Each structure stands twice: as structure tokens, then as C-alpha cells.
Chain A
Amino acid sequence: MTGLRLHPFTLLAIAGALPALAWILPAPVGGAWTAAVALALTLTPGASPGNTGIGSSPDRRPGFVVFRTAVLTATPFWLFLLLLHDVPTTIAIGLRITTMVASFVWLVAALEPPRLVEAMIAAGWSASVAYLLAATLSAVPGLKTRAQRIVEAQRCRGLSPRGGIPARLRALRALALPLILSALHEVDERALALETRGLVPGVRRTPLAPPPDPVLERAARWALLLACLAALVRRLIVASPT
């Protein structure tokens, strides 16, 4: 998949269609298919483009990292479900949640905010809306980098991220607080700072490098939408039990 970079709207369409289909299609088969596709996506080299930045090890295969993040994020939900439901229900709901989690994790890794902004501007969206959406999506990697820095600083102050549950909970609190506090503190500064970069209401931003949008991809997006609608209609008409 190297070299084949999909249009950002296509990425959004896929990331939206998979969870939608997971919930629309009859469980557990529907959920199993969509979860499998979503997890497979996290393994593609197309996930996590761009530099990894100073301080991280560049020789880890990025696809595996994304897959692992998806699995680790989904796992607590499975445990929770197992406590509340019987096995068939757990599997049915768990697969749907896995699809949602994996799709989102994949989207965050694969979507490049600058390309999304360019695509939205080219499609006529206002710059502010485009930045809002892109900033929300890029907030996650930004938080990850910041979290890494905070964990490092705290390890250098003696806090060990290993050990038993109480130790890990302490470590989590020591990470969560500065992460949220400094991120919130920066939100004010960021809003002001972005203002300084020329965001004038009513002015149409010049597209610098709008990503190519081949007819095939546009058709594929429509096809995905239609597939979801068709599945929904079929589900409503046939009204088969879960």
C-alpha cells in the first residue's frame, strides 16, 4: 500500500462505514467481518505516515504499533462486557466495539491533518471548520508525544511505571493530571496563537496542495454509503432478530 495514498474523505468514509456496518449487519458474523477488516487496516503500512519524531525509535514497524494500540484499547471493553453479559452477547457487542475502536485508531494514525485540511478547503469548507476537525484528530498524536515527555520526566524523578496495580494507578494519575492540565492550559494559548497565523473570518484560504481525488475513489465512497444504506434497509425490512 506504500505509494497509494487515499484521499482523506475516503479514509473518513471507510472509518465511518465499518462501525456503521458492524452495527447494522447481523451479529456476530457482520461484526466479525468488519472487526477483521478494521484490524487488518491497522496492520497496513499506510497507517502512521510522517516522521516519528526525535526520541522515539524509528526502527519499530509502525503497522504493528497501531494494531497493538487498537487491541489494547479494545481489551478493557471485552473484560467489562464479560462481567455483565453472557458469552454470545459479549462476542456480538465486543466485535462491534472492536470495529469502532480499530477504525478510529486506524483513522487517527492514517489521516494526515494537513491533507484533510487541504481536502476540505478544496471542497469548499471554511478554514476554521477544517482546522477544528483536523486539530481534534491530531490532538491524539499530540497528546501521545506530550504524554511520552511527561512520563520520561517523571521517570527521571523516580516514578516507576512498572510494578503492581497500586503503583501503576499512581503512575497513571501522575501522567493524566499534567497531561490534561498542560493541554487545557495550552488550549487558551493555542487559540490565541492560531489567530496570529492569519485566520481571518470570511477569507477563503488558498489551497496549497489539494490531494488528488480520482473518480474511482469518489465512486467507492458513494458505493460505501449505498452499501450502508442498503444494509440498513434490508435490516429494517427483514427485521431479523439479533
Chain B
Amino acid sequence: MKSLTLDHASFWYPATESPALRDVSLEVAPGEVVALVGALGAGASTLLLVAGDLAPRMTGGRLEGTAARRDRSGIVLPTPWTQVSGMAFTVWDEVAFGPANLGWPAHEISRQVDRALERLELVPLASRDPATLSGGELQRVIIAAILAMDPGLVLFDEPAAELDAEGACTLWRLIRVLAKEGKGILLATSALDALPEVADRVVWLEQGAVRAVGTPDLLAEAAACEAGLGTSVATVWRDSELPEPAPLTIIDAVRRWR
């Protein structure tokens, strides 16, 4: 069974005429990384909220169609400072907050928290007060906190926004590891250049509807480049009016150049 199945899902926020999602059908299999790309406001964040059972339950509004999950889902929002509990004086306690809420036994909580901290390279920060962390450090803490709850479906909304280059690299590697462990991953990101390595499939959203679905090769096509959604390499190749097909990555470009 799929980690996530959206079947002809349309969603309206409360008191809005036009839907934020239009007739979206989407599946995420266990072990698969699906990336959502699109302009700001295209509906990626809304789709993640629907996928995570937060819309319409917490946001209000109306959902038509269905959204079914096989396992517990965890979502990392683009604003890590809102997801901080405010109830923890140390990073360790902050990451333990979720598992404790789920009522797990103490030894299991310890195990999950230690593991999550290690994966996000947060062990040196374990006894720091979350209120003193930088935006990037906090984003890693929240990612660890969500992973510590061991969700089967992990939803990421712009997880690398606040991270520096090293942090972002660690994150993309971690996402592949999570997929290998059998988790389903749905990821909304504007870091298009990372997607050839990270994503198995790319879904292009435009004004709440699915415009195209495909492998990351989609990001080298003319339509994507024109919409500002091509990888940097593909975009500059087209700008130079070099022959098709445009290479997706630097390695592809080197091969074509020879």
C-alpha cells in the first residue's frame, strides 16, 4: 500500500472562492522521494497540509476528494520557530517533546532522540537552549524533532530555506537515507539544483493543479525552464541557445560539451 494517496483532491481555505488545490491526484510509495515544484503560491504548502491531515482539520476549509495515509505522518513547516514547543530548555528536551506526547516509554524516547540528534549532526548542541539557536540550527532541531516521532510519511516544506550549504548537503543525504529505510517522502522545495540527486519524481504544481509529473529530467525541459523552474545548468544552456536536449546537471553538461 502507498504511503500517501491523494485522489482528485480539491481544497478551499475558509471563506475563499477559488480553490487552493484543484483535482490533485498523487501517490507516494514507501521508499520514494517525490518533490513538489512551482511558483510561490502554487499550492505546494497547502498540498503538504492536506497530505499531513492538517487541512482541513486544523485550518478549516473544505476538502473534496480523498487523502489517505498508510502510516503516521510528520511535517516540517517552513517556519521552524513556530514549531518550537516553548516547553524545553535544551535541544534534547525539544526533540523529546514529540515522542513524549505520543506516550512512548522512556527508553524508546531516549533511543529515538539520540538517533535523531546524530542524524542531524546536533549532538554538540544537545544541551543548548533552543531560544539561543540560529535559524539554521533551529531548522535542524525541528527536523530532528519530527523524525524522532518516527513517521512513515515525512512531509518537508522548504526544509533547506534557512540552512547553509553544509547543512543543506547533510539534509539531502539524510532524505535519501530515510527513503532507503522505507519512508515515503514528499518535499516542497525551490532548491531545484538538488533535485536530480534527491528526488525520484517531480510534480509541477501551477495554481493548485498538477501541470506535469515526471522524473527530475522534467526540470531540463523547455516548459520548465521558461517558467523559471529549470535547473541552473539547463536554464543557462537554453539561454545560450545551444542544441537540445539541455543537460540537467553539471556532469551531464560536461558530457555534452565534449
Are chains A and B touching directly in their complex (CB below 8 angstroms)? yes
Residues of A participating in the B interface, judged by any CB pair closer than 8 Å = 50-51, 53-54, 112-114, 117, 127, 131, 134-135, 138, 142, 145, 186, 189-200, 203-208
CB <8 Å contact, A135 and B86: yes
Stretch at the interface among B77-85, B114-122, B198-206, B246-254: B77-85
Distance (whole angstroms) from the CB of B187 to the closest CB of chain A: 16
Asked if A192 and B59 sit within 8 Å, CB to CB, the answer is: yes
Point out the residues of chain B lying under 8 angstroms from A54, CB to CB.
Answer: 132
- Write out the residue numbers on chain B whose beta carbons fall within 8 Å of the beta carbon of A198: 97-99, 101-102, 149
Query: Taking A53-B132, A114-B93 as contacts, is the C-beta distance between A186 and B87 under 8 angstroms?
Result: no
Instruction: Give per-residue flags for B3-45: 1 if the beta carbon is below 8 A from chain A beta carbons, else 0.
Output: 0000000000000000000000000000000000000000000
B contact residues around A190 at 8 Å (CB): 82
List, in ascending order, chain A residues with CB within 8 A of B129's CB.
50-51, 53
Interface centre among A51, A114, A145 (most CB of B within 10 A): A114
Question: A203 contacts B103, CB within 8 Å?
Answer: yes
Interface string of B139-160 (1 = CB under 8 A from A): 0000001100100000000000
A-side contacts of B49, CB under 8 Å: 192
The answer to the question of B74 belonging to the interface, with a C-beta cut-off of 8 Å to chain A, is yes
Specify which chain A residues have a CB less than 8 angstroms from the CB of B88 in the assembled complex: 114
A113 and B87 CA atoms in complex are apart in Å by 6
Size band of the interface chain B makes with A: 35 or more
A50 to B132, CA, bound (A): 11
Select from chain B the residue with minimum beta-carbon distance to A134.
B87
In the complex, the answer to whether B100 meets A193 with C-beta atoms within 8 Å is no
In the complex, per-residue mask of B40-57: 1 if CB is within 8 Å of any chain A CB, else 0? 000000000100101000
On chain B, the residues within 8 Å of A205 by CB distance are 100-101, 103
Give B49's nearest chain A residue, CB to CB.
A192
Our pick among B52, B79, B82, B89 for the contact of A112 (Cβ within 8 Å) is: B89
> Given A197-B97, A206-B104, A131 and B87 touching (CB < 8 A)?
yes
Instruction: Tell me whether B77 and A193 are in contact (CB under 8 A).
Output: yes
List 27 A-B residue pairs with CB atoms under 8 Å apart, sorted by A's residue number: A50-B89, A51-B129, A53-B131, A113-B86, A117-B87, A127-B101, A131-B87, A134-B87, A145-B131, A186-B82, A189-B79, A191-B58, A192-B77, A193-B77, A193-B82, A193-B83, A194-B83, A196-B77, A196-B83, A197-B98, A198-B97, A198-B101, A205-B101, A206-B103, A206-B105, A208-B106, A208-B109
Q: Which of A53, A134, A197, A199 neighbours the largest number of chain B CB atoms within 10 Å of its CB?
A: A197
B220 at the interface (CB under 8 A from A): no
A170 smallest CB distance to B (angstroms):
29
Task: Enumerate chain B residues within 8 angstroms of A206, measured Cβ to Cβ.
Answer: 99-100, 103-106, 109
**Residue in B closest to A209 when the chains form the complex, CB atoms:** B93
Residues of B contacting A203 with CB < 8 Å? 101-103
Q: How far is the CA of A155 from the CA of B92 in the complex (A)?
A: 36
Within 8 A of A (CB), among B149-176: 149
Considering only CB atoms, which chain A residue lies closest to B98 in the complex? A198
Q: How far is the CA of A197 from the CA of B93 in the complex (A)?
A: 13
A192 engages B54 (CB within 8 Å): yes
Cβ A196 vs Cβ B146 within 8 A: yes
**Are A142 and B86 touching (Cβ within 8 A)?**
yes
Instruction: Contacts A203-B103, A206-B109 given; indicate if A114 touches B54 (C-beta within 8 A).
Output: no
Kindly state whether residue B219 has any CB partner on chain A within 8 Å: no
CA distance A53 to B132 in the complex (A): 5
Q: Which of A53, A192, A196 has the most CB of B within 10 A?
A: A196
Q: Closest approach, in angstroms, between the C-beta of B164 and any C-beta of chain A?
A: 18
- The reply on B179 being an interface residue by CB < 8 A is no
CA distance A236 to B120 in the complex (A): 63
Nearest B residue (CB) for A139: B86
Complex Cα–Cα for A203 and B99 (A): 11
The smallest beta-carbon distance between B88 and chain A, in angstroms, is 6
Contact B103 A204 (CB under 8 A): yes
Chain A residues with CB under 8 Å of B102's CB are 198, 200, 203
B75 on interface, CB distance cutoff 8 Å: yes
